[in-house]
Structure formats: structure tokens, C-alpha cells
Amino acid sequence: QLIVSFLFGLCHLSLHSTLLCGRANLNNRVVGGQNAPPGFWPWQVSLQESSGHFCGGSLINSQWVLTAAHCFPSGSASDVTVVLGLQSLEGSNPNNVSRTVTTVIVHPNYNSNTKDNDIALLQLSSPVTFNNYITPVCLASTNSTFYSGVNTWVTGWGTIGTGVPLPDPETLQEVQVPIVGNIQCDCNYGAGSITDNMLCAGLLEGGKDSCQGDSGGPLVIKQNNIWIQAGVVSFGEGCALPNYPGVYTRVSQYQTWINTQITTNKPGFITFTSNGTDSDLNVSCPEVPPIETGTASTNTTTPLPTTTTTTVSTTTKPTGKIFC
């Protein structure tokens, strides 16, 4: 298969791809926590059933979407529509394109209890044509490093707080959140909760996070004007609570698996390299304050299929672990 190289040979796509991965021609974003303008995140997709949007995902080539395994507990997508080029869930969307799903591939080692290996691939019913509003994202390759404090972006149509729906017309949201190292994140969630297949991002003081409805969506980072997907929205303790950053599936762990499933027109992989020294290596685990609880005393683990990215209120703190 004929391959072209771009950016020092790092991003590879077959020649019949009309645009290279990770290029958002309309995006000059610097800071966030707001509505995303049209075309800023052209790989973002909405997964919809008859009841509407339920999960996010990312376009990784002309016919495949990356998402979270927990969005497909039955392993079936017979009633799922993938909407690309979408700006708002309500109202006019002149750039959107829809496809059905012909194949769902859930990672064989996905654990619905721990959320380890929370990753899945969807094959679209037919290829899409790339333009300024529909473009694949590059994926982080195996040797990528994500040090604490590196800024990333997460996008979606999820709630803007626990139990607070996105107001009409339900415009795609974006927020910038820093990487939280796995040692620190594991300290916060409890020893052994965060595996090497996971990546954490968020403010330890709370206030910015993904939330219910964003699950499966992309966490991306920019390098040399190219956007690279580092994570897939997976789970969290509520939304934007202090000391509990969002947890994402670490895409760089799955390059071999993805390339094994997609045999033609393989996605573009880029190595993201963090500069300096990772402060997470110096972290020891202090005692983390417990989550405040309301009148209910139950502590249950409830999987919820989705999450989004904007500044959210942290005044109401739910009991138990909520998987977004």
C-alpha cells in the first residue's frame, strides 16, 4: 500500500485520503470552556439512537470511528446513527452527514467494572468525504508521553453539570483541561483504580470536566499544528469534583489493536512528546478528602453512557461513583 508522510514522517495516511489527519483548518482556539464554533473539531461525531444523542466518538479515517466500549453494553449498534459535521443537536446543521454502523468491535479485554480497556471501533456504512467540517483526527502512537500539566481539549454534547442538561440548541462544547499524572490520579481514586491503559485530565480544584453524555468522545492535544487524540472519555467521580479529574482511555496503548482491526486505509498515528520532566514521578499519596454526600448514604457504581466539556458547577455533589 502506497503511503505518504507528513510532519517529519510521523503522520501516515493512504493516498486516497483527501486530507491528512489532525488538521482543523478553522480552529485557532487558545482558551476554552464555551460553545465550539463550527468546524473547530471536525473529527467529533454524535452517536444517536431514536431517543437522541447518547455518546460521542471521533472519526479516525473515512469509514471508522473510535469511541468507548461502555457506550455499547450489548455489543450491537443496529439502531445507531453516526452524525458527522454536527454543530448543534437542535436546529439547522448545514454541514452534517449521517451514516449507520455496520460493525462494532469492542476491545476483547474490556472490563465493565473497572473500565479498563474502555475502547471500541465502529465501521460506517459507507465512507465519508473530508472537508473543513469532517476530517479525521490523528491518534497518539505507542511511544507518546503525556506529562502532568500538559494542556488538552475535550469536546462533547453532554450535560454541563451533574443533572444539568445542555441548553438549547445544545451546541457542541469545548474545554481545556491539563493532564493529571497517573500516580496522582491513582492516589485520588484509590490505589489500583487507574491502570496504564488510562489517562487522567482535569483541574484538581474542580470546575472543568467532561460529564454525562460525553462518553466516547475525544481528548485531544496539539503538536506542530496537528491535533492528536490522546484519550477517549471513559469515567469519573461525578462531574468536575475537586480531587477527581476525568479518566480517559489512553489511545497510545492501542495502536497495535487498532491497526489489527482496520486492515485498509489505516488511521494516522503520531508520537506526542512532552518536554521537560514529569512532576508526577515525585508524587506520593496524601489522604484525599472524602466526597461530600447528601441525605442518601448509598455508595453505588452506576455506569452512564456519556459526557461533555465545559465549566460546570460543583455545588451539588452526588453520592457514589458515577461513570460518565
pLDDT at 290: 55
Alpha carbons 218 and 177: distance in angstroms, whole number: 13
> Per residue in 291-314, pLDDT tens?
554 433 333 333 334 443 333 333
Catalytic residues: 70, 118, 215
| CA-closest candidate to residue 173, choices 184, 188, 161 | 161
Q: Which residue has the cell 514529569?
A: 278
pLDDT at 33: 55
Residue 28: its pLDDT value, please? 58
CA distance 30 to 28: 7
Distance CA 142, CA 29 (A): 27
Residues of the chain with pLDDT under 50: 1-19, 30-32, 293-324
Domain annotation for the chain: domains and CATH numbers: 32-269+302-313 (2.40.10.10)
- Which pTM value belongs to this model? 0.82
